[in-house]
Structure 1
C-alpha cells in the first residue's frame, strides 16, 4: 500500500497504527514470557547439600561453587534440566574428583571443586558443570569400547581424542571399575544427552587429563516460543529450530555427488551429507524439474548435515503446540505451530530426524 499510494494520508495513518499495534503486541509477549521466567538459583541451591552428602559417601573432600544464580530461565526448562544436572554433578564427584591422597600425590589441594555456572548469551542460556579432577583419558575410553565389543581395535585407534571422549554418550557405556550408589550402572550419559536434545539443546565436553572436565550445556531460553527457519517442501511447510541452523545454501544438480549411494555436496572443501526432506517424509513430486535446490545446514552434536528443501519462507518465532495423544509421536517431528495466516507448520526434531535418516 505504501508503494502504491505513498502520499496518501490514510495510508500513512494506517502504517503508524500498524507499527503501534506491533510495538504493543511485542511488549505484551515480553511481559507474558517474563511471568514464565524463574531464576535458575531455585534449581542450583540444592546442590551444595547434595555434593556434601555424596562426597562423604565417596570418601572425598569436595567444595561446590555456584555462579549466575540470578540467570532467568523458563520454568518448563528448569524442570527438564534438573535430572541432567544432577547426573553431571554425580559423575564429577564419582569419576572426576580424586580421593585426597591421590590429589596430594598429584600436587593438588586435598579438596576438589565442582563449579556450576549459568549465563545468557545471544538468546540462549549456557550452563557449565566443571570439576578440577582427573579428567577423561581418551586412551582409557578407546580400551573400554573395544573390551565391550562396541568397536574393533582398528576403529577405536582411528578415533581422534575428541571423538574418543564422546564415546561416553554411547548407551550403556561406563568407565566405572565398580558400581556404586553414586555412579549408577552406566545408563547415564546417553540419557543426559537425549534429555538435553529433546528440548533443542546441545552438550559439549572439554577435558584435560589431570586437570579436570567441563560439560557445557546450551539451551533455548523457553520451550513455549521457538525461533525457527520456515522451509517449503512441496505443499508442506516445516519449521527448523534456528538454534540448530548453521547456514543456508543454494545448490544446482551439478553440485550434488554421491558417496556409497548417499547424496553429498562439497562445502568449503568438506564433504556435507545431504538428506532430502521430500524423500524422508514421502511428499509427492509435483512434476517440475528444478534448476535450483536449497539446503539448510544443521548441526546436532558432532553431525553436520544439509537438509534439502524446495525453498525458504524466512525466519519466524512460532508458538509451540503439542501434537496431542490422537496424533501420537511422529518420527522426526517434535510439535506443530499455527502461522499468522492460519496454516499449520510442523516443527522438526533435528536429532530424531537424523536418526530417521540413518545418521547417528
Structure 2
C-alpha cells in the first residue's frame, strides 16, 4: 500500500518519507469516512498533529500535503481534484498557513488565528491550520493555541511543524495533546531522483547536490540550480584549513557575516519594495487631491509598521543563512573525526575528501572535537541572541588554535 501511495497524487512531494506517508494517508482516509458520517477506530484521526524532523526533512511539505489530502474529494490525496490543487497551491479558503517572518510568533497573531479557526469550513471538509516553526511560539502565543487544542472545534485540525533537534522548544502541554509524526533524513538516492524527475536537473549534478546537502531537499535544489549557493558553500569549507595567521580569524569571521548579510539583503530587497508599494496603494497613500492628508498619514504609519516587520524578517533570514554555514562547518569537523577514527561512515562533504584527510593527519582527535564543539557553541550563542559577529569571532579563534 505504502509504495503505491507515495508514488501517487500529492504524496509524491514527500521525499523518502514512506513511514510518515503511511500514517498520514491512513488518517486522511479516516477523516474522509468521518465526513461521510461513518464510524472510525478511535485515534485513527485526531485534531492536533506535531510533525517533527531534522532540518530539510520536509516538515512543512508534509503538513501541506496532509492538508491537501484532508480536503481531497476522494480522501486519498489524488492531486487532481480542486481541493488538492488549491490546498497545495496555498489558495484553499479553509487552509490557513502561519509562517513566522520574524524571530517569533506573537500572541496577537495566534489569537486572531485561533478565532478564525473556530469557524466551520466554508468550501472544504476541514478547517486546517498549519503552523510552521511552532518552536517560535512565544509563551503567550503557546497559551492561546493551547486553549484551542484542548477544546478544538469539531471540524478543525491543527498541524504544527517543529525541528526534532530542539523538541523542548514546543510547550510540553501542547506536545502532549498532539499526535507525533517523526520525519527522517531522506537518503541521497531519493533526493537525487526527485531533482531529476521533478526539476529536470542533470543526473550527475543532482547526484552531487544530493550527496552534499545533508539530507536537506530544498538545499539540494538550491545547490543544483544556483551557482552563488555553490560558491558560498565552497568559501565556508575553505575556512578550516585556511586559518594560518592571526589576521585570518577576523577575515574569515567577516566573510561569514558578510555572506549572511548579503543573502538576507538579496532575498528581502525585491519583496520588501513590492510590499511597501502594494500597502501604500491599498491605503491610498499615493493619492492626490483634496482629503488625502489623513490617508497619507495612515499609510505612512502602516508602512513604518511593515518596515519593522521586514527588519525582523531580514534578521531571521540572516541568522538562518549563518546557521546553514555553521552546519556545514560542523559537518566538516565531524567528517575529520570519522576519517581519523577509520569508522568508514558516509562523509557529509565527500567532494572535500582530500581536505578532510589532510586535516585528519594534522589534528589530533581531541583538537578536532574542540573545534566541533566551538561551532556548536556558536550556534547556541546566536540562538540566545548573542551578536553574531562576536559569537563567530570567538568561534573562529578556537578553530585556529584547536
Q: TM-score, normalised by structure 1?
A: 0.29
Task: Tell which has more relative contact order, 1 or 2 (C-alpha 8 A, sep 6+).
Answer: 2
Identify, as 1 or 2, the structure richer in strand.
Answer: 1
Q: TM-score, normalised by structure 2?
A: 0.27
